[in-house]
Structure 1
Amino acid sequence: MKTRSGQRRNGHEEGDVTTERDFFAGRRVVVTGGVGTVGRELVRRLQTLPVAEIRILDNNEDALFFVGNEYAADSRVQLFHCDVRDADKVERMFAGMHLGFHTAALKHVPLCERSPASAVNTNIVGVQNVIRAATVNHLSHLLFTSSDKAVNPTNVMGTSKLMGERLVTASNAVQQDGRSCVFVSTRFGNVAGSRGSVIPLFCQQIEAGQPITLTDPAMTRFVMTIADSIEFLIQALMLAKGGEVFITKMPAIRMVDLAETLIELVAPVFGRDPAAVETRIVGPRPGEKMWEELSTDEETRRSYDVGELLVILPAFRDIYDRIDYSYGGLDLIPNPQTYHSAAITPMNRDELRAFLLRPGVLPESIRAKLGSS
C-alpha cells in the first residue's frame, strides 16, 4: 500500500508542495481555541497566506465578540461559538474544512487539579471529539498543541495532555490509505507573554509595588515568543506524515535571571527603584518541576533531529510501518539525549534583555513606554 507521500488530498499533490503558500493555497482552515493567545496569533498568521477560509471556534463569548471586530475587514475569517466538549457541534463546524489546528484546552495546572473532570472532558474527550470531526469530514491534516507537562506528568493537566497526544498518534493507525487525515502533535515550551504566564505576572507585581514571587532561584525553563510558536506550528503541520510528536529547539532561562532582568527593565517604567523591588522565594508548587522536560528517556530511542525541530516517532512502529517517515530530503539524525532545560546553557542577561524586548513578550503598554524612553 502506498504511503501518504505523493498522494492527492483536498486538491493538493502532497509531493509537489514546496512552500507554505503552496501548502495553504485555497484551503479552508479551522482553529479551535481561536481567541486564545496562540490561536489568535495563529489566525493573524494565516491571514497572510492565500487560504480560502479561516474558521475560528471558541467557547469564550466575550472574546469572540471583541476579537470579531479585528477581523471584520477579512471576509475569509468566520467566528463561531463552539465548545470542543460538544461532539455533534464540533463535527458540524469541521464540515468543509481541509486543515485543522486544535489549540483549545484547559491549561492552568491549579484549575485542573481542582476540577479534574473538566480537564478530562476538555483535554481528553475534547481531543477525541476533534479527531472524530476531522475524520468524518475528511480533513487532510490536524495538528494538536500539547505541552511540556505531558512529559513525565506530575499533575492532572499534564496527564490529560499526554492522553491527548496518545489519542492523536493512535488515530493514524486506524487509517493508512494515503488519503486519510494526518494527525500530529506538537509540544510547546513556555510562550513568553501569553495569557496567565509568568512575565505578565511579574510585570503586574512590579507595577503594584508588590514583591516578585519566585518559586526557586535554580529553576530553569524553555521560552519562545508567540511568533516563534506559530512558525513552529506551521512547519510541523507541513512536515507531518502522521503520528509524530514535534518539538522545537528553544533557548533556556533561569527564573532568577528573568526576575532580576525584568526588575531592571520594568521598574523604572513605573517610577520604581529597581533596588527597592523585593524578590520573595515561595517554593515550588505541588507537582512543579525544577526544570522543563520536552522528551523522556524512553523517547530518546525514537527521537531525531530534523532541521530546527526534533521529531519523536511513534513507539509501536509496526503499527505505522506503512507511513514513510522521510521529510523532503532533510536528514533524520538520531538524538539520544533527553531534551530538558537544565541541559541547555541559559541565556545571559544581555541575551535575556534582548529577548524580552521582542514583540509580544512584554505587555504592549510597557513595551511602548520602553520604546519611547
Structure 2
Amino acid sequence: MILDRYNPHRIIIYSRDEYKQSVMKAEYSKKYDMSKVRFFIGDVRDKDRLYRAFDHVDYVIHAAAMKQVPTCEYNPFEAIKTNIHGAQNVIDAAIDRGVKKVVALSTDKAVNPINLYGGTKLVSDKLFITANAYSKISKTKFSVVRYGNVAGSRGSIIPIFKNIIDNGGNELPITDMRMTRFWITLEQGVELVFKALAESEGGETYISKIPSFHISDLAEAMLPGCKIKEIGIREGEKLHEVMVTKDDCRSTYEFDKHYIIYPHFEWWDESRNDRSGGKLVEDGFEYSSANNSQWLSVEQIREQLKKI
C-alpha cells in the first residue's frame, strides 16, 4: 500500500494479484470514494514498475512476500527473488523517489529462523533496518513491524479447523500438543503499522504486546469435546513463536502496548532510546508465546473467534 503525497487522501494498492485487487475494489466501493484509490498491477521483483508506482509517494507499507513455508521450501529461488530481491527493490525505489517513510511487515519466523521463509524474512528485516544508513540524502526512514499469523488469515490454523468442522469432522489435527501461538487481530496489526508510520525515526522494530494461546485450547474452543489427533511437527515448524530474542533484549524497550527493538549501529543516536518513554527490558528477557504473561482461556478464545 502506498500513500500519494500530491493527494494526501489517495491510496495506491500495488499488487500482482489481479483477483485480490478486484475483490478489494468491490469491497472498497461500498465504503469509500473510489476516486481516492488507485490500483496498480505490479511485482516487487520489477524495479521499473516500483519506480513508477513510487513517484510522488510519501508513505509505503511493504507487505508483499511468499509466506507459505512449504511453498518456499519447494521453490527456494522464487522465495529469494520475492522476499529478498523484492525488498531491495522497494528500498532502492523508495530512496530514489524520495519516499518519506517505509514500514515493512516482518514475522516471528524471521527470529531464529529454521525454514527458508524465515531465513528470507530475516534478511529482509536486516535490509530494511540498515537501509537507513543509505538514505541520509533522501531522508527516507525505514522501520519494521513484526507479528505472527493474523487470527483467521488465509493459510492459518483457524480456517483449517473451520473447514474440517464445516464438513462434518469431529477430529482436529494438531502437530504437537505443546504448541503455542500469539493471538493478534487484523485491527491490532494495522494499529501497530500506523504507530510505526507516525512515530518511527528509522531503524526500529515494533512488536505488539498480545496474549498467547495453546493450539489445543483453540481446538476445544472451535469444536467442544472434539477428538484431537497429534500428527507430528512439520518440517520448518516451531513449537512456539518468538518475537524478541535474549540477544535482542539489550536494545529492547517496553511500552504499554508494544515493544521496540532499537538499532545498534553507528548511524543511530542511542540517546533516543532513553528519551523514547519506554523502559529497557531486563537482561535475559525473551518475548515468546511460551513464556508470555497473558494467556487466552478456551472461553476467551471462543469470544475472540466471534470477532473475526
Question: TM-score, normalised on structure 1?
Answer: 0.76
Is the contact between residue 172 and residue 320 of structure 1 (CA under 8 Å) also seen in structure 2? no
Return the offset for 1:330.
4.7
Return the offset for 1:69.
2.5
Provide the C-alpha distance between the structure 2 equivalents of 1:205 and 1:63, rounded to a whole number of angstroms.
Answer: 25
Is the contact between residue 95 and residue 135 of structure 2 (CA under 8 Å) also seen in structure 1? no
Return the offset for 1:143.
0.3
Within the candidate set 183, 198, 207, 2:157 is matched to 198
Partner residue of 2:4? 28
Partner residue of 1:331? 277
Partner residue of 1:68? 25
Does residue 143 of structure 1 match 2:103?
yes
Percent identity reads 34
Does residue 293 of structure 1 match 2:242?
yes
Is the contact between residue 82 and residue 89 of structure 1 (CA under 8 Å) also seen in structure 2? yes
Partner residue of 1:209? 168
Return the offset for 1:244.
1.2
Provide the C-alpha distance between the structure 2 equivalents of 1:67 and 1:105, rounded to a whole number of angstroms.
Answer: 18
Provide the C-alpha distance between the structure 2 equivalents of 1:100 and 1:326, rounded to a whole number of angstroms.
Answer: 25
Partner residue of 1:165? 125
Is the contact between residue 58 and residue 83 of structure 1 (CA under 8 Å) also seen in structure 2? yes
Return the offset for 1:320.
2.2
| 1:356 aligned partner, one-letter code | L
Is the contact between residue 101 and residue 143 of structure 1 (CA under 8 Å) also seen in structure 2? yes
Partner residue of 1:370? none
Return the offset for 1:240.
0.7
Is the contact between residue 241 and residue 324 of structure 1 (CA under 8 Å) also seen in structure 2? no
Unaligned ranges ≥5, structure 2:
none
Change (3 A) 1:74 1:324: farther
Is the contact between residue 241 and residue 325 of structure 1 (CA under 8 Å) also seen in structure 2? no
Within the candidate set 278, 289, 297, 1:341 is matched to 289
Which stretches of structure 1, 4 residues or longer, exceed 3 Å deviation after superposition? none
Return the offset for 1:106.
0.6
Return the offset for 1:353.
1.7
Return the offset for 1:232.
1.0
Within the candidate set 237, 254, 262, 1:305 is matched to 254
Partner residue of 1:37? none
Return the offset for 1:209.
2.5
Where 1:298 maps in the other structure, the secondary structure is coil
Change (3 A) 1:330 1:354: farther
Change (3 A) 1:246 1:102: same
Q: Where does 1:94-173 land on structure 2 (aligned, <5 Å)? A: 94-173=54-133
Cα deviation, 1:221-259, whole Å, max 9, x if unaligned, reads: 101111111111101221211111111111000000001
Provide the C-alpha distance between the structure 1 equivalents of 2:77 and 2:259, rounded to a whole number of angstroms.
Answer: 32
Within the candidate set 180, 183, 187, 1:223 is matched to 183
Unaligned ranges ≥5, structure 1:
1-26, 30-49, 265-274, 361-373
Within the candidate set 158, 177, 181, 2:140 is matched to 181
Is the contact between residue 306 and residue 330 of structure 1 (CA under 8 Å) also seen in structure 2? no
Provide the C-alpha distance between the structure 1 equivalents of 2:290 and 2:90, rounded to a whole number of angstroms.
Answer: 35
Greater Rg over alpha carbons, structure: 1
Provide the C-alpha distance between the structure 1 equivalents of 2:146 and 2:100, rounded to a whole number of angstroms.
Answer: 21
Is the contact between residue 69 and residue 236 of structure 2 (CA under 8 Å) also seen in structure 1? no
Provide the C-alpha distance between the structure 2 equivalents of 1:326 and 1:343, rounded to a whole number of angstroms.
Answer: 25
Partner residue of 2:41? 81
User: How large is the RMSD of aligned CA atoms in angstroms?
Assistant: 1.8
Provide the C-alpha distance between the structure 2 equivalents of 1:65 and 1:332, rounded to a whole number of angstroms.
Answer: 42
Where 1:200 maps in the other structure, the secondary structure is helix
Is the contact between residue 307 and residue 330 of structure 1 (CA under 8 Å) also seen in structure 2? no
